[in-house]
Amino acid sequence: MKFFSSISPEWALRIGLGAMYLWSGLDIVRHPKSWYWAIRSLPEFAEAAIGKIGIDTFLMIQGAGELALAILLLVPFLPRRLLRWVAFLNALEIALILLLVGVDAITFRDIGVLGGAVALWLMSLRS
C-alpha cells in the first residue's frame, strides 16, 4: 500500500495516458489499415484534407504524433511548461475526435480520456 500512496495523481495520469498513446501510436504506424474505421463519417472539410495527403499518410502522421505524446508523457524530467502543452494537445486531440467523429459505441472511453487529459492539464497549470 505504501508504494501506491507514494505515486502522485499526476504520474498516474501521465503513465495511463502515455501507455495508451504508446499502444495506439505503435499500432497505427505498424497497421494503418486496421485504423481505417477511425476515419469514417468525418465532416467534408476533414475528409477533403485527408484525401489530399492520403489516408495512409494521415494515419502515419497521427501514429507518429501519438508516439511523440507518449514519450513526452513518460519522460520524468519533462519541463513543466512542456508538460502543459503536451496535456493541452492531448485534451485537444480527444476533443476533436469527439467533435468530428461523433458518438458511437466507444465514445464513453473517449470521454474518460478527455477527462484525464483535462485533469493533467489543470494540474500542470497549478504548479
State the sign of the Cα–Cα–Cα–Cα dihedral 42, 48, 51, 57: negative
- d(Cα 104, Cα 123) in Å, to the nearest integer? 30
Q: What is the pLDDT along the chain (127 residues), one digit of tens a residue?
A: 787 788 899 999 999 999 999 999 999 999 999 999 888 778 889 989 999 999 999 999 999 999 999 999 999 999 999 999 999 999 999 999 899 887 778 888 999 999 999 999 999 998 6
Tell me the pTM: 0.89
